[in-house]
Structure 1
Amino acid sequence: MAAPADQTPATPEDRLCASSSAGDIAGVTSLLSSGADPSYFDPNGMTPLMHAASHGHTAIVRLLLDAGAPWNALTPSGLCAGDLAMESSHQETVDVLLGFAVQAELILGTITRSKRNDSNSDSSYLDERVAFGEDRIMDTDSKAVMMGWEMPLMEAHARAVCTNGGHILNVGFGMGLVDEAIERYNPEEHTIIEAHPDVYARMLKLGWGEKKHVKIVFGRWQDVVPQLDTYDGIFFDTYGEYYEDMREFHQHLPRLLRPGGIYSYFNGLCGDNAFFHVVYCQLVSLELANLGYSTQFIPLPVKDCLSKEVWEGVRQKYWQLDTYYLPVCQAECDSE
């Protein structure tokens, strides 16, 4: 005889998912106390935390996080609990998940470490040949180093870092989009760091080495930092590096960026997941604040720039969000 369709879920973990979805605090508390696993995935690929977050059950979200539920677990379609809470406009739940995630990343760096393990290192990228197309630069693994759809973003970055005029530094030439935009602001001096030999050779072929106020520094920024000056605006956009590399660069900002100067960076961290991206915006903002900088993020719609044809021939879509949050970091002026 078949069991009733509405029977109680068979395992403690299935009951935990059901109680989390229903907002049953007492049930969740009891199941956790009796040893139910908060990291369990049900047959639909959902964890108890995802069920609670999608329904905005904030108190249960806190219980599950405290019990060790993984905040960054993903559904088969690539969504985490934070994404589900955001989609359903449960702002209180989003805030709780965001606060927990930022603290977890400050301590553990779980996302960046997994990304680093899955990706090529900076050194391997620099040893490989790159291919130049009309609207992109590709590495040997068919991954995009830079693409033409980024042009409006690069123009906005250039506008930000050139606010004060003077001396501008760009770390990473790529296709030259941001440097071409910087040139339109007629900076007093324009320094470009580029580490890839193919890109460097192309820069020289295009005449960048002949511009009187442009200074090209060939090499990894980590190696050439000691020879750099101070600047009124700095932009950072490297390929084949990771968040830890950018954090290391940030440690040099107090010497490189003049008081009142503007710093910005390509904000592509976790560009394939909305909630992870928000986590990293918060994380970078906090870490820059500890160095004495205030950061604001300017939202720029990019959905219209990303037609399906844009990604043809590209192995991995490094950006899948509708909005790009352009960071503008202001150095604190010395008090009089």
Structure 2
Amino acid sequence: KTEQNLKAKTREGRSPPRGMAPPPDSKSDKSPEELLCAAAEAGNDDAIAELISSGADPTYFDASGMTPLMHAATGGHAAAARLLLDAGAPWNALSPEGLSAGDLTSDPATYDLLLDHALRSELILGTVARRQAAPANSSDGVPAETYLDSRVSFSEDRVMDAESKAVMMEWERPLMEAHARAVCAAGGGKVLNVGFGMGLVDQAIQRYEPEEHTIIEAHPEVYARMLKLGWGEKKNVRILFGRWQDVIPQLGSYDGIFFDTYGEYYEDMREFHEHLPKLLNPGGVYSYFNGLCGDNAFFHVVYCQLVAMELTSLGYSTQFVPLPVRDCLKAEVWEGVKQKYWQLDTYHLPVCQAESESE
């Protein structure tokens, strides 16, 4: 799936960093960082400001695996959270349970503060940080070149890569049918799908009988299987073998576009979006598999809004249609899969159109 490498950054901070923090206060057996956590939990803004000014480290993890920002967020102390963020507290640090400060707060003001800070941080620093972190943590993303050179295996309910990570799974079928309905909304026009996988979305697209159905697939074994299944013989289907980056010159313009690649990073999808003005016809609909941070609710919201903001800058409006998926994800679904790439109860299906046509 289109994957970002956000967690690669957060995991680097799991060990409590001490930095150049001053020695514990002589009047207390607690370190400045422990006092900072206590002040954050209580929402004591003056104490927080004084401790930070004295050198207490806002990136500290206490014995329970919580940062000062997590304590402030849990208590719904927005002003305290702002002080900590301004001092460099990481918004994307994770507790041992895999929760961030945004996941822990139930206070709307604190949540909005964290979300705004996260978006600004990712817009300004995210590109560099994701690119630098990606090679260091292969569990959070498979470089496209590595995936394309690896073997894949096929079964009735999944396609797996060589590391037992799922490329596509049968539980996604209802989502793919919804994506197909969205991108075929204009009726019998021209449709483009980037990434075949199990062919779930392409099977659904075919039911709308598009005038032209173009499929881009880069993995040689998936491509061979497509041909074996007869996709190359369908009259309205055009298959382009290769990476989308390499076959872009062969593309025309389309009434519906769906993007769902595996082994690429968020930046690759962002690069694809820059081609939308030439690829998407007026009145057309664009959608993508929204698997960004599918195992963390707050990170997922951050990336939904981040993509929407970046598409807005290109002249497109994005709506997210909520689809419940909890009943699709029984425990046995993930048997034999190394990594659960989706753990949320709701899937937010993106529907993107030119801003003047968003209705």
TM-score tier (shorter): over 0.9
The reply to whether residue 129 of structure 1 matches residue 151 of structure 2 is: yes
What's the secondary structure of 2:197's corresponding residue? coil
The equivalent of 1:102 in structure 2 is: 119
The normalised TM-score by structure 2 is 0.88
| Alpha-carbon offset, residue 113 of structure 1 | 5.0
Alpha-carbon separation, structure 2, partners of 1:131 and 1:317:
18
The reply to whether residue 13 of structure 1 matches residue 33 of structure 2 is: yes
The equivalent of 2:303 in structure 1 is: 280
Question: Deviations along 1:156-189, whole A, 9 cap, x unmatched?
Answer: 1000000012100000000000000001111111
Q: What is the percentage of aligned positions where both structures have the same residue?
A: 72
Alpha-carbon separation, structure 2, partners of 1:173 and 1:8:
62
The equivalent of 2:251 in structure 1 is: 228
The equivalent of 1:326 in structure 2 is: 349
Name which of 155, 158, 164 aligns with 2:177: 155
Alpha-carbon separation, structure 1, partners of 2:295 and 2:193:
25
Q: How does 1:235-254 map to 2 (within 5 A)?
A: 235-254=258-277
Give, as a single letter, the amino acid of the residue that structure 1 aligns with 2:152: V
1:116, 1:242 within 8 Å by CA — same for their partners in 2? no
1:263, 1:328 within 8 Å by CA — same for their partners in 2? yes
Name which of 209, 212, 217 aligns with 1:189: 212
The alignment of Structure 1 onto Structure 2 pairs a total of residues equal to: 325
Give, as a single letter, the amino acid of the residue that structure 2 aligns with 1:96: L
Structure 1 unaligned residues grouped into runs of 5+:
1-6
Name which of 57, 70, 73 aligns with 1:37: 57
The equivalent of 2:13 in structure 1 is: none
Structure with more contact order per residue of length (Cα contacts < 8 Å, sep ≥ 6): 2
| Alpha-carbon offset, residue 325 of structure 1 | 0.5
Name which of 35, 60, 69 aligns with 2:89: 69
Alpha-carbon separation, structure 1, partners of 2:261 and 2:132:
18
1:16, 1:27 within 8 Å by CA — same for their partners in 2? yes
Structure 2 unaligned residues grouped into runs of 5+:
1-26
| Alpha-carbon offset, residue 129 of structure 1 | 1.1
Q: How does 1:201-220 map to 2 (within 5 A)?
A: 201-220=224-243
Question: Deviations along 1:99-129, whole A, 9 cap, x unmatched?
Answer: 1001111111145753554222101111111
Compute the RMSD of aligned alpha carbons.
1.4
Give, as a single letter, the amino acid of the residue that structure 2 aligns with 1:59: A
The equivalent of 1:179 in structure 2 is: 202
What's the secondary structure of 1:108's corresponding residue? helix
Give, as a single letter, the amino acid of the residue that structure 1 aligns with 2:125: L
| Alpha-carbon offset, residue 9 of structure 1 | 5.8
